Amino acid sequence: MPNKKLNILFAAAEVVPFAKTGGLADVAGALPKAIRKLGHNIIVVMPRYYEIDTTQLEKLPAPLGVPMGVMGEFWAAVYSTTLPQSDVKIYFIDYEHYFGRRNLYEDDNGGYHDNDNRFVFFSKAALQLCKMLHFTPDIIHANDWHTAAMPLLSTTRFVHDFANAASVLTIHNLQHQGTFYKGIIDVLEVGWEHFNPHELESMDSVNLLKGGIATANAITTVSKKYAQEIQTSEFGFGLDHHIRAHNGKLFGILNGVDYDEWSPTTDTYIAQNYDINNMSGKKVCKKDLQKHFALPQRDDVVLIGFVGRLVEQKGIGLIAGVINGLLGHDIQVVMLGTGEQWAEDFFNEVAYNRENFALHVGYSNTLAHKIEAGCDMFLMPSLFEPCGLNQIYSLAYGTLPIVRATGGLDDTIVNFDTQHKHGNGFKFYDATQEALYYTVLWALNIYYKEKEAFKEMQKVAMQEHFSWEDSAKAYIDVYRFALNNKRNAL
């Protein structure tokens, strides 16, 4: 029945607007709504972290029992509400001992030592919840390593309840795989026969993502380019061979953008709204941003922004290598992010020494919006980037991205073509300081010397549209593929 409405369980470790450390939360907050708009039934499940205020949520009358193998049965409370501007139900698994902590995944000493138990617990809880709600999913959609145990759980420990459900695993980032001491098998209760190099085992440890890749009826990544890249040793983080073995069920689906949140015409965080026909508001935003960062308020200087986690993935090592050289030119640079200590220290020092560079260490949604709106260009020189959202947000604001041609950055940014004066950004290919440095200088040259071409690029950028509706339709096709795949395997 190709048009049958599907029941979907969507589980993620973070969901906007409730908890977010990165793009996974944006996707988990938007994709289910787009799927719902196509007429399917979807419920979302996430942990109830300490930061989530339960007073506005509805508490389910009965507690949820979660079997944890050798550790016994744990009991969780469950809260619920709907995703904003939708009727999509989201459920929060409330278990103080695991999730009542300051951060989602880590403290100052690194990842929480019991992340394996925390997310195996969450994965099992999401499945148990379906039973409690009498919700029979056709599709179990897991995201990243946190919930990657769900496909295998649904065909082993929970097989009786999910015999007809197919599973889909979305890889938002292959770097994080959930690798733990093998004793977790006795908590998972999937059977030690699955601890083998084709499923859960990686160098005598359990690798949850690896198990999910082996078992899910379909795998997706968040861009087509990244789907190719993860099959190579350069981007495979040791799993490229394993992924190649399963590439018949691998798909790349680009993320969309929530334009209710990211649009210069309606954005409530920015100094003045603007659109493609009247860009005067962008100048006001630029001035406002310069003021915010105590930079000289000049309209005639190029202003370049960066927003993101300060981790190697984002190319911060490359930026650190070229920043002082770049700041010798007529340029202003602003950065927003948190992450590795060396990077926070390094860029703080640059900010201290330079008049044309400013940094905000921290997480600020408001400032992220102001940077998208107020800058002329956006810097994203990632070493790898499964999809990347900020460069797509930048396009909407006419803030031209300067990116490394990898993953979703390569799929969304069209390099400026000097001959035909066309493109929506600037790309470089080698992950080297030289390539980054000269690409920024090239972009500066276009900004200062080819003003008409630059404006034309801004128009092209602002006309791009990355709709969640298109992505949701592609996910539905993958769901149907997964169901067929499951049937054929039976």
Residues sharing a CB contact under 8 Å with residue 110, sequence separation 6 or more, in sequence order: none
23 binds ligand ADP (CB under 6 A): yes
Rule CB under 6 A: which of 306-345 touch ligand ADP? 307-309, 336-338
Rule CB under 6 A: which of 246-275 touch ligand GLC? 255
Closest CB to ligand GLC: residue number = 23
* Binding characters for ligand GLC, 9-48, by CB under 6 A (x = yes): -------------xxx--x---------------------
Q: What length is written for the chain?
A: 490
Distance from C-alpha of 174 to C-alpha of 187, rounded to nearest angstrom: 24
Question: If binding means CB under 6 A, how many residues of this protein chain bind ligand GLC?
Answer: 14
- Which of 6, 9, 18, 26 is close enough to bind ligand ADP by CB under 6 A? 26
Q: Given the rule CB under 6 A, which of 90-98, 126-134, 192-200, 301-309 is the region that contacts ligand ADP?
A: 301-309
Q: Please give the structure tokens belonging to residue 465.
A: 């549209």
User: Per 3-state DSSP, what percentage of the chain is helix, strand, and coil (rounded to 5)?
Assistant: 40, 20, 40
Q: Which is nearer to ligand ADP, 308 or 381 (CB)?
A: 308
Rule CB under 6 A: which of 350-389 touch ligand GLC? 385-389
Please give the angle made by the CA atoms of 284, 285 and 291, to the nearest 5 degrees. 90
Distance from C-alpha of 327 to C-alpha of 455, rounded to nearest angstrom: 24
146 binds ligand GLC (CB under 6 A): no
Give yes or no for a contact between 10 and 45, defined as CB atoms under 8 angstroms apart: yes
Rule CB under 6 A: which of 403-422 touch ligand GLC? 408
Among candidate residues 99, 33, 90, 101, the one with its CA nearest the CA of residue 60? 90
- Which of 305, 381, 388, 398 is close enough to bind ligand ADP by CB under 6 A? 388
Helix (H, G, I), strand (E, B) or coil at 160: coil
- Which of 7, 22, 224, 275 is close enough to bind ligand ADP by CB under 6 A? 22
Helix (H, G, I), strand (E, B) or coil at 43: strand
Q: How far is the CB of 362 from ligand ADP (least distance, A)?
A: 6
Say which entry of ligand GLC, ligand ADP, none residue 151 contacts (CB below 5 to 8 A, set by partner kind): none
151 binds ligand ADP (CB under 6 A): no
Among candidate residues 80, 211, 175, the one with its CA nearest the CA of residue 135? 80
Q: Please give the structure tokens belonging to residue 32.
A: 């289910």
Q: How far is the CB of 17 from ligand ADP (least distance, A)?
A: 12
Q: How far is the CB of 252 from ligand ADP (least distance, A)?
A: 15
- Which of 117, 173, 177, 207 is close enough to bind ligand GLC by CB under 6 A? 173
Residues sharing a CB contact under 8 Å with residue 248, sequence separation 6 or more, in sequence order: none
> How far apart, in Å, are the Cα atoms of 101 and each of 24, 47, 171?
20, 11, 25
Report which residue type is found at 72.
Answer: G
Q: Given the rule CB under 6 A, which of 93-101, 112-120, 149-157, 361-369 is the region that contacts ligand ADP?
A: 361-369
Helices (H) and strands (E) in the chain, counts: 17, 21
Report which residue type is found at 201.
Answer: E
Q: Residues in the site for ligand GLC, rule: CB under 6 A?
A: 22-24, 27, 172-173, 222, 255, 385-389, 408
Q: Residues in the site for ligand ADP, rule: CB under 6 A?
A: 22-23, 26, 307-309, 336-338, 363-365, 368, 387-390
